[in-house]
Amino acid sequence: MIVELSRRVCDGFRLKFLYASGLAWLEHNRERVNQLNVYPVPDGDTGTNMTLTMRKAYAAISDWDDSHVGKVADAMARGALLGARGNSGVILSQILRGFANVLKDREVFDASTFAYACRAASEEAYRAVEKPVEGTILTVAKAAAEAAYRVAQEESDLQVVLEVTLATAKDALRRTPEQLDILRKAGVVDSGGQGLVYILEGMARMLQGEPVMLHETLLAQDVPTGDTHDGTWQDKLEPEDEDGYGYDVQFLMRGDNFDVAQVRRDFESMGWSTLVVGDPSLIKVHIHVHNPAHPIGYAIEAGAMLDDVVVENMQLQYEAQAAQRVKKDIDDAPVMVDGVAVVAVAAGDGMRKLMVRELGAAVVISGGQTMNPSAEDFLTAINNLPNDEVILLPNNKNIILAAEQAAKLAVGKTVRVVPTRTVPQGVAALMAYINANGSVSLDDLAGEMAASTHSVRTIEVTTSTRSITLDDVTAKEGEVIALLDGKLAGSGQSPEGVVEHVLTTLNASQAELITLYFGDAVREAQASRLGERLGELFPGPEIVVVRGGQPLYPYLISIE
Q: How confident is the model at residue 153 (pLDDT cuts 50, 70, 90)?
A: very high
Q: What phi-psi label fits residue 278: left (phi over 0), alpha (psi between -120 and 50 degrees) or beta?
A: left
Separation between Cα atoms, residue 116 and residue 103, nearest integer Å: 9
What pLDDT is stored for residue 223 in this prediction? 32
Better-predicted residue by pLDDT, 502 or 220? 502
Check residue 507 and report its DSSP letter: T
The beta strands (E) that lie in 267-348 are given as: 272-279, 282-289, 305-313, 341-346
- How many helices (H) and strands (E) in the chain? 24, 18
What pLDDT is stored for residue 242 in this prediction? 52
Give one DSSP letter per residue of 244-269, joined into a string.
-S-EEEEEEEE-SS--HHHHHHHHHT
- The pLDDT mean for the chain works out to 86
The alpha carbon of 179 is separated from its chain's Cα centroid by a whole number of angstroms, namely: 25
Side-chain-facing half-sphere of 461: CA atoms under 13 Å: 26
Task: Please report, as a single letter, which amino acid is at residue 531.
Answer: G
Mean pLDDT of 15-32: 90
Q: What angle do CA 202, 107, 152 make, to 5 degrees?
A: 55
Cβ partners under 8 Å of residue 444, min gap 6: 436
Q: Flag whether pLDDT at 318 surpasses 80.
A: no
What pLDDT is stored for residue 216 in this prediction? 41
Better-predicted residue by pLDDT, 388 or 216? 388
Task: Please report, as a single letter, which amino acid is at residue 354.
Answer: L
Query: Which range, 303-307, 350-354, 418-422, is most confident?
Result: 418-422
Query: Which range, 104-113, 211-220, 272-281, is most confident?
Result: 104-113
Q: How confident is the model at residue 42 (pLDDT cuts 50, 70, 90)?
A: low
Q: How confident is the model at residue 124 (pLDDT cuts 50, 70, 90)?
A: very high
Q: Flag whether pLDDT at 151 surpasses 90.
A: yes
Q: With b meaning 16 or more CB within 10 Å and e meaning fewer, what string describes 382-402?
A: beebebebbbbbbbbebbbbb
Side-chain-facing half-sphere of 388: CA atoms under 13 Å: 3
Residue 101 and residue 120 in contact, taking contact as beta carbons nearer than 8 Å:
yes
72-121 pLDDT, tens digit each = 999 999 999 999 988 899 999 999 999 999 999 999 999 999 999 999 99
Percent of the chain at pLDDT exceeding 70: 88
Question: What is the number of residues in the chain?
Answer: 560
Separation between Cα atoms, residue 110 and residue 92, nearest integer Å: 22
Q: How confident is the model at residue 230 (pLDDT cuts 50, 70, 90)?
A: very low
* Range scoring the smallest mean pLDDT among 191-195, 237-241, 254-258, 338-342: 237-241
Separation between Cα atoms, residue 55 and residue 73, nearest integer Å: 14
Mean pLDDT of 222-248: 44
Name the nearest CA neighbour of 22 among 48, 51, 2.
51
466-524 pLDDT, tens digit each = 888 888 888 898 899 999 998 999 999 999 999 999 999 999 999 999 999 999 999 99
Q: How confident is the model at residue 280 (pLDDT cuts 50, 70, 90)?
A: confident
Q: Flag whether pLDDT at 314 surpasses 80.
A: no
* Range scoring the smallest mean pLDDT among 142-156, 272-286, 312-326, 406-420: 312-326
* Range scoring the smallest mean pLDDT among 166-170, 469-473, 539-543, 544-548: 469-473
Q: How confident is the model at residue 335 (pLDDT cuts 50, 70, 90)?
A: confident
Q: Which domains does the chain have, with CATH numbers?
A: 2-219 (1.25.40.340), 232-320 (3.30.70), 332-455 (3.40.50.510), 458-559 (3.30.1180)
What pLDDT is stored for residue 217 in this prediction? 41
Q: Flag whether pLDDT at 241 surpasses 60.
A: no
What pLDDT is stored for residue 337 in this prediction? 85
Mean pLDDT of 26-42: 84
Separation between Cα atoms, residue 543 and residue 541, nearest integer Å: 6
What pLDDT is stored for residue 65 in this prediction? 81
Query: Which range, 10-14, 145-149, 367-371, is most confident?
Result: 145-149
Task: Please report, as a single letter, which amino acid is at residue 473.
Answer: V
Q: Flag whether pLDDT at 368 surpasses 80.
A: no
Better-predicted residue by pLDDT, 250 or 58? 58
Q: Flag whether pLDDT at 252 surpasses 80.
A: yes
Mean pLDDT of 532-538: 94
Mean pLDDT of 167-191: 93
Mean pLDDT of 193-220: 76
What pLDDT is stored for residue 284 in this prediction? 80
Query: Which helix (H) or strand (E) segment is 11 a member of?
Result: none
